[in-house]
Amino acid sequence: MEIGQIIFLIVLIAVAFLAIKLYGRVFRNIRLGRSEIINDQKSKRWKNVLLVAFGQKKMFKRIVPALLHFFIYTAFLLTQVELIEIIIDGIMGKHRVLANPLGGFYTFIIGMIEVLSLLALVATIVFVIRRVILKLKRFHSIEMKGWPTKDALIILAGEFLLIAAIFTMNGSDVLLQGMDPEHYPSTGVLPVSNWLGPAMFGNLSYESLVMLERIGWWGHIVVVFGFILYLPISKHLHIFLAFPNTWYARLEPKGEIQNMPEVMNEVKSMLGLTEENSGMDESIGDLPEFGAKDVTGLSWKNIMDAYACTECGRCTSECPANITGKKLSPRKIMMDVRDRAEEIGKTLDQNKSNVSLAEFDDGKTLFDRITREELHACTTCNACVEACPVLINPLDIILQMRRYEILTESSGPGDWMPMFNSLENTGAVWQVPEERDAWSK
């Protein structure tokens, strides 16, 4: 076994170990939410995955960024073929192990990767210009200050490095195929490297080309491994989570608000529609906690939404409350939920031997991150839900937190409370002296 193989295997095993650990933490944090069973209408769910996650359907409501994103997205998908070959080569100590078996199809695949990589390079440059020079408003909101902006630029820098590594590897390899065909199998005529290689590296010696090819090869795999380990702390985790998130997305009409089982059962009990004692029995113990005050009161799907958030800001840019200058930003809601889940996860890790989730209490809640002013500003219009390209539902989190405030804390905006009192006392939103159905008597 050659030294290169040994180094590659050590790196591969180390990355696999760290990845399992990092992604395991994300999975654990998602499971901080309460249980929810989602497995109905599977055909519609697979349709969502194919059209929304794979097909990028909702991205194309804004055609220019959609096309640019599509270039990067398709390049990412197809580059996995070359990545698989690199991993096989690294393990076996071979070079382009798939070239001869696949023949012309191999040339087609590598050629497509080159074309898409070139388009991805253009897209990456445009994205940098949009963020750094044009400074689009939705990328420079208050919640995007600091780490979120750095995170986006780190990924774009990684894109540049990956594309540079691909063309360095292929460009030098094309020249080496003519010098040493025994060790460098023919890739056929490649649309970019066959002219870029000679143009950039044509005057270099054999030894220099071998070194460049290895730099490109290792650069490619190191950047990919870096991405794998970086994604769990990045918004770009949506690369993986967008697919399960669209599968588990709500299928009910957007305007349909889910009932709370505790309240629904109590109302049915009062109306004699259920068996005796099927509602909330106050003699048994404390009343249930309505809504959610922390991520542990949200569904695991709400937390997955937060981790799948791309921070693209489409939800906030469509939010009528935000447009009119109010404090609400649906994107910030999702970022706050994710950050709170991370905070709880880190605390549990630090106190693993002493604290269980059932006993966990650090004196903080989501209300420390999401203000009541933000929650009250929401008009429940579903514009944010409609705008999201990966079917995230910020409104559901807002509703659950408002339910906690109104039903558990018995508080809320002063101009809301008379309406709630009237509903409780007379069954109508208007403050009238008689019950709503008095006329029927």
pLDDT digits (tens, 9 = 90+) for 341-388: 999 999 888 877 566 677 778 889 999 999 999 999 999 999 999 999
Mean pLDDT, all residues of the chain:
89
User: What are the structure tokens assigned to 87, written together?
Assistant: 């991993």
pLDDT, position 352: 72
Confidence of residue 300 (pLDDT cuts 50, 70, 90): very high
pLDDT, residue 337, reads 97
pTM reported for the whole predicted model: 0.88
Q: What percent of the chain shows pLDDT beyond 90?
A: 69
How many CB atoms within 10 Å of residue 50? 13
Tell me phi and psi for residue 109, to 5 degrees. Answer: -65, -50
Range with the largest mean pLDDT of 100-104, 119-123, 134-138: 119-123
Answer with the residue of higher pLDDT: 310 or 285. 310
Q: What is the pLDDT of residue 287?
A: 64
404 has a pLDDT exceeding 60: yes
Mean pLDDT to the nearest integer, 140-160: 92
Q: What confidence category does residue 266 fall into, taking pLDDT thresholds of 50, 70 and 90?
A: confident
Residues 6+ away with beta carbon under 8 Å from 342: 29
Tokens of 175: 């020249």
Instruction: Dig out the tokens for 358 from the structure.
Output: 């059932």
Q: Nearest CA to 299 among 41, 31, 26?
A: 31
Residue 133 clears pLDDT 60, i.e. is over it: yes
Mean pLDDT of 157-172: 95
- Segment 8-12 mean pLDDT: 94
What is the structure's pLDDT at 275?
57
Region of 107 please: left (phi>0), alpha (psi -120 to 50) or beta: alpha
> Token pair of 242, please?
């967008």
Give the pLDDT score at 431: 75
Helix (H, G, I), strand (E, B) or coil at 110: helix
Percent over 70 (pLDDT), the chain: 95
Q: In this predicted structure, what is the pLDDT of residue 283? A: 46
Q: Of how many residues is the chain composed?
A: 441
Q: Which two tokens stand for residue 265?
A: 């059962």
SS3 144: helix
* pLDDT score, position 285: 52
- Confidence at 276, pLDDT banded by 50, 70, 90: low
User: Which amino acid is located at 420 in the chain?
Assistant: F
The answer to whether the CB of 330 falls within 8 A of the CB of 394 is yes
Mean pLDDT of 109-138: 93
Q: Decide: residue 358, CB within 10 A, 0-12 exposed, 13-18 middle, 19+ buried.
A: exposed
Locate 427 and state its tokens: 């069954």
